[in-house]
Structure 1
Amino acid sequence: MRVEELKRILVSQREEMLEFMGRERIIPREAEESAKSLLATPNVLAILGVRRSGKSIMAWRLAGDNFLYVNFFDERLTGFTSGDFERLLNASRELWGEVNFVVLDEVQEVEGWERFVSRLRLNKRVIVTGSSSRLLSGELATYLTGRHFSITLYPFSFREFLSFRGVGLSKEWEYSDREVSRVKRLLEEYLNIGGFPEALKFGRIYLNQIYRDVVEKDVVLRHGVRHRSALRELALYLLSNCSSEFTYSKLGSIVGLKDVHTVRDYVSYLEDAYLIFQLRRFSFKPKGQLLAPRKVYPVDTGLATAMSLKSHPSRGKLIELAVFLELKRQLSYSLMPGKLFYWRDEKGEVDFILRTDEMLPIQVTFSLEGTSDRELSNLVRVSKALRVKRGLVVTWEDEEKLVKDGVTVEVVPLWKFLTAHSLLTTHLSPLSTTASMSPRL
């Protein structure tokens, strides 16, 4: 591509982005502080996540004033190749001089981009964004071993959703019945519509477009899927069965694919595009994790409700999905190394095992009433198996602290769980003394 042509595209993209930033309500993302710390010195930061989750806006906000921004989803850059990168830099220099930051938006559209980024990072801070978890695999992993960081950006958290709706919470809001009622009412809306910024602006109908773009552009076209109808049926089935266990052989029989390896690849493609996440069963043996059935969780509660083949996901399933996404979100944004699992054995199940420097078993249920003994017994039993003395239960509105068989259990309502800013620190640090807790024998 010619330098003059690239200059027109760069100026046009900048004008469009500035117009958008001035027109729209821009919510600072919770991931920004961690991202800034990773860019303190010339470095490469990859912002990954499902399309339309706000990666471009976050990258723009992080870059400051003196930067080059290029969006490779622009149809005018369809013919751009790796040989055009130096011309791109020349076009930028002629327009704005030397820049400190370079933002390459959806850079995976250009084959061979890794070497260009590897060269840039020597003198500039670089942000790349992508809607594929494989962005950091392959050649980039070779060229930038130990010299790049990544953050997965999710749709709005409930806290960001409240900010988008213009709701500010006072320091003591949790003690106000009026404020708590308002937050719970908004939580109902959040579970139904989710956290995609454009869905909040245009309505749930926009979720259908997001879904189609992810499946068709980020999966079918990107991976050259052969059995397209089966892939589409598979995506809808997985979105409709949030938190359910699955095996590749069972999925194959449902969508009419006999080759289990093809099914495994298709599920991997959907996860690669951040449409779904697979959750492995906890086992003390690695082989046990690999062979056991997995559970599936969509990337957004609104997407799960809008695309479900069922009339509507149950309230309990949506609460579990909201808890799962918040745990994933805070693991990513806090830069805390950790993993999530679920627990199932012949005696019962615990929804999540959060593994960081220590273990935290987490049970999710709509209400303790009627299920209290079963849910708590499983949580206590698994806590002892993991050799920890604490557990967490998330419900719709129950709240208490108790001790059962020497295990301290904190029961928190979903609205409080989703509005906590330091969730991992709060629930992985020592809980309050048991003197004020009620024993449950």
Structure 2
Amino acid sequence: MLQTKRKTMLTIITNQKKERDVLVARPYLSRRTPYDTDALLSCPQIKLITGPRRTGKSTEAILMLKNKNFAYLNFDDGQLLSAWDENAVWQALQQVYPAFDYLLLDEVQNLDGWDLWVSKLYRNGINLVITGSNAKLLSSEMATLLTGRYIQVSMLPFSIDEFFAWHHLELKQLAPEQTAQAEALQADYLRNGGYPETVISRNIAQSYLSTLFDSIVWKDTAKRHRVRNVSDLNDLAMYMLSNFCNPFSATDLASDLGFSSVATTKKYMEYLREPYLFYYLPRYNNKLKLMAKAPQKVYVVDNGFVTAKAFNLGENLGRLLENMVFVELIRRGYDTEKSLFYYRSRNDKEVDFVVRSGHVVERLVQVCYDMTSAKAAKREINSLIECAGELKCNNLCIVTMGEECVIEERGHTINVIPFIKF
């Protein structure tokens, strides 16, 4: 029996090595991250690469390890999971990858009890690179067992900078003759987002993202949490997708969708946050109790999901731009629990994003697709200035699709910045 287990595991890991070698041989666009790969690999801490499915986590890990002697385990492989035996795995790894220096564990959260096994590997001095697509499992287990022993690298769909690079344009060094192409690319990115597979082949974007969205809801969420009423979970996901950038509360959602329980609605909302599909932005307030009670705003990880799946009667370019700005702020490391919020003034004026550093509000960011309308410009400026007064912040900007200028108004300086420069 033991010999059979070892033989089966050896076959599985040998086949995975063939897959790994194919992946290593492919050409890739290097992602533009702030991390020094050599410095990351030289440190003993676990390298944890997190983010939504299909955003290039495995690719980034392989690029990090491409010229290194590394072993590979892919936990999206049902055969590996069903035949799992810790001792057999270890023996097979040593046989297939003699004297390996690094171990790459891809989508490790699919393995039951993965955290205990990873902890043991770490204690035994194995230099680990891990990828995962579930925020709660990774953050809670890693924080519990491995506090201070890992470095987290976050991956999201392509930024607009990376999207331009794929099309052989440098966002910060555009020549005058490239203006028309840049505007077309920006409009494309606004609607179709930056998932790597769709960037390579735009003609498949909507069908690919529709299938991926369903897979995240049904596989990564419903199956993992053993959700019985999957149609309710899917209805919630579709409702939030169609109402992205809008404020909501669990009570309102339960009522609008006809759910019997607010508690279940909250639970489903958390489930849909875990695979990095949706983000919930709290309303800023110095009093935590009031902040917790206020409606949150919902954002989606990539605009392409909205175009592919959302039930919208018309194209809302303003909300697409707002969502794009939100994802860019997340990409820069801002956190919806500590440093990124929205705000409503006492007179019900709203600013889209409050960026905080520690206890200090460092920047207010308003989003307006088109500032050429005098009425729209006045509305956005008035809201921004009123909120700036209440929050004691003088660093103000409005992100637009194309306009760029500086506005002096009532003692405030407002920088109007096109997204392409934001």
Give the structure-2-normalised TM-score. Answer: 0.91
Amino acid at match of 1:206: Y
Contact between 1:32 and 1:62, CA under 8 Å: does it hold in 2? no
User: Of residues 10, 21, 25 in structure 2, which corresponds to 1:22?
Assistant: 25
Matches of residues 228-307 of structure 1 in structure 2 within 5 Å? 228-307=230-309
For the pair 1:365 / 2:364, whether they are aligned, the reply is: no
User: Of residues 397, 409, 420 in structure 1, which corresponds to 2:414?
Assistant: 409
Pick closer, same or farther for the CA change 1:170–1:114 going to 2, 3 Å: closer
Give 1:172 deviation, angstroms.
4.0
User: Of residues 376, 383, 386 in structure 2, which corresponds to 1:381?
Assistant: 386
Contact between 1:47 and 1:151, CA under 8 Å: does it hold in 2? yes
Aligned residue number for residue 79 of structure 2 = 76
User: Which is further off, 311-320 or 30-39?
Assistant: 30-39
Distance in 2 separating the partners of 1:150 and 1:295: 26
Give 1:153 deviation, angstroms.
1.2
Contact between 2:349 and 2:387, CA under 8 Å: does it hold in 1? no
User: Which is further off, 193-202 or 286-295?
Assistant: 193-202
Runs (5+) with no aligned partner, structure 1: 418-441
Amino acid at match of 2:178: E
Aligned residue number for residue 96 of structure 1 = 97
Pick closer, same or farther for the CA change 1:386–1:404 going to 2, 3 Å: same
Aligned residue number for residue 186 of structure 2 = 187
Aligned residue number for residue 86 of structure 2 = 85
Distance in 1 separating the partners of 2:183 and 2:101: 44
Deviations 1:156-177 (A, max 9, x none): 1111112223x2328642xx43
Aligned residue number for residue 398 of structure 2 = 393
Give 1:250 deviation, angstroms.
1.2
Aligned residue number for residue 319 of structure 1 = 321
Pick closer, same or farther for the CA change 1:199–1:350 going to 2, 3 Å: same
Pick closer, same or farther for the CA change 1:8–1:233 going to 2, 3 Å: same
Deviations 1:322-379 (A, max 9, x none): 10011101117xx9x9621001133310000111254210000012232222211221
Matches of residues 124-139 of structure 1 in structure 2 within 5 Å? 124-139=126-141
Distance in 1 separating the partners of 2:24 and 2:101: 21
Identity of aligned residues (%): 33
Distance in 2 separating the partners of 1:120 and 1:31: 27
Give the structure-1-normalised TM-score. Answer: 0.87
Give 1:221 deviation, angstroms.
0.4
Distance in 2 separating the partners of 1:162 and 1:39: 28
1:243 partner SS: coil
Give 1:140 deviation, angstroms.
3.6
Deviations 1:393-417 (A, max 9, x none): 1011110123333332211112222
Distance in 2 separating the partners of 1:29 and 1:311: 35
Runs (5+) with no aligned partner, structure 2: none
Distance in 1 separating the partners of 2:384 and 2:91: 61
Deviations 1:273-310 (A, max 9, x none): 11111000011111111000010001100111111111
Pick closer, same or farther for the CA change 1:46–1:80 going to 2, 3 Å: farther
Deviations 1:218-240 (A, max 9, x none): 11101111221111111001001
Amino acid at match of 2:103: V
Distance in 2 separating the partners of 1:15 and 1:237: 42
Contact between 2:205 and 2:304, CA under 8 Å: does it hold in 1? no
User: Which is further off, 376-385 or 286-295?
Assistant: 376-385
Distance in 1 separating the partners of 2:172 and 2:391: 36
Distance in 1 separating the partners of 2:117 and 2:18: 25
Distance in 2 separating the partners of 1:310 and 1:133: 29
Give 1:37 deviation, angstroms.
4.3
User: Of residues 215, 218, 228 in structure 2, which corresponds to 1:216?
Assistant: 218
Pick closer, same or farther for the CA change 1:133–1:170 going to 2, 3 Å: closer
Distance in 1 separating the partners of 2:164 and 2:21: 25
RMSD of Structure 2 on Structure 1 (CA)? 2.1
Give 1:45 deviation, angstroms.
2.1
1:47 partner SS: strand
Amino acid at match of 1:331: G
User: Which is further off, 38-47 or 361-370?
Assistant: 38-47
Pick closer, same or farther for the CA change 1:403–1:36 going to 2, 3 Å: farther
